[in-house]
Amino acid sequence: MNLQGLKILVTGGSRGIGAGVVQQLAQSGATVAFTYSSNKESAEKILETLNGDHSIVQMNMEDEKSIETGVAQVLEKFGTLDGLVNNAGITNDQLILRMGVDDFDRVYQVNLRGAFYCTKLCLRPMLKARKGSLIHISSVVGHTGNPGQANYTAMKAGLEGFSRSIALELSSRNIRSNCVAPGFIESDMTHALTDDQKKLLLERIPLGRIGTAQDVANCVEFLLSDKSNYITGQTLHVNGGMYLN
Ligand SMILES: NC(=O)c1ccc[n+]([C@@H]2O[C@H](COP(=O)([O-])OP(=O)(O)OC[C@H]3O[C@@H](n4cnc5c(N)ncnc54)[C@H](OP(=O)(O)O)[C@@H]3O)[C@@H](O)[C@H]2O)c1
């Protein structure tokens, strides 16, 4: 797919799915700015693998000031913005009876509040240009629920409602908003699962394999490209068939 000339911001591009997205977009000709929160070294390693004028930016999604500073740096460099990929996310799993308010709040701040605020700050150049594509990485468990993830699943379901609402608000300005909902994808987030948990999950995937960052990146690339010009307010599921809706 050709993304030549597009300027894209990807949050949480230092590892996992975000890093795969960054590499795919850069390969397709986009200029990418991507964020890390604490893992600067890992972000720099990803940057070294890319050809072109790409950049890394520190951004903590829990902190409004940090999001403001990060987005301002990107806009200053790019002068415009064609796309935002809200990918940064965390888990903080506990059964509801053991889940503290802080456990809930932290996931809320990074996964939903941070995505809201980053989107809001990125809209100005898109409104001016009367075009843009917003992509939010949600999750299959935002649809199915998952024991131990009441906080995470609530935020992912919330992100999808958020995406649909702004799709309606922004479509008159030719700005599209869509979600990509991965299933079980190989990354640091899923490395935390035990072998038994992984085996059980694998049994539920009809295509018989764990997904890769590349599988997700391909969908993000499509939603940023002209090929998806008539798609907004949707969720694209990337889960090997483990959830059919
Ligand atoms: N892996 C899966 O199976 C799966 C499935 C469904 C959905 N997802 C979603 O896909 C997205 C990426 O997941 P992943 O598996 O690639 O995760 P990951 O490997 O743990 O990477 C998380 C990324 O988010 C960044 N991040 C963490 N805390 C942050 C904060 N407070 N502020 C800003 N950035 C922060 C990290 O930056 P540092 O490197 O600096 O820490 C890193 O770049 C998440 O939204 C996740 O919920 C993943």
| Mean local confidence (pLDDT), 190-218 | 91
Q: State pLDDT tens for residues 138-167.
A: 999 999 999 999 999 999 999 999 999 999
| pLDDT value at residue 42 | 98
Could you give phi then psi for residue 68, rounded to 5 degrees?
-60, -45
| pLDDT value at residue 195 | 87
pLDDT band at 204 (very low <50, low <70, confident <90, very high): very high
Query: What's at 93, amino acid-wise?
Result: D
Q: In 79-149, where does DSSP find H-type helix?
A: 101-108, 114-129, 141-144
Catalytic residues: 152
Pocket, ligand 1, Cβ cutoff 6 A = 12-18, 36-39, 42, 59-62, 87-90, 110, 137, 139, 182, 184-185, 187-190
Which of the listed CATH numbers 3.90.79.10, 3.40.50.720, 3.40.50.10140, 3.40.1080.20 matches domain 7-238?
Answer: 3.40.50.720
Whole-number Å distance, alpha carbon 128 to ligand 1 midpoint, is 30
The answer to whether 160 and 179 are in contact (CB under 8 A) is yes
| pLDDT value at residue 149 | 97
Q: Which atom of ligand 1 is nearest to the CA of 141?
A: 6
* Statement: the pTM of the whole predicted model exceeds 0.95: yes
| pLDDT value at residue 108 | 98
| Mean local confidence (pLDDT), 202-226 | 96
Q: In the chain, where does DSSP find H-type helix?
A: 16-27, 40-48, 64-78, 101-108, 114-129, 141-144, 150-170, 188-191, 195-203, 213-224
Q: State pLDDT tens for residues 33-59.
A: 999 999 999 999 999 999 999 999 999
Pocket test for ligand 1, best of 189, 190, 220, 236 (most atoms within 8 A of CB): 189
| pLDDT value at residue 190 | 83
| pLDDT value at residue 192 | 79
Is it the case that residue 245 has pLDDT exceeding 80?
A: no
Is it the case that residue 197 has pLDDT exceeding 90?
A: no
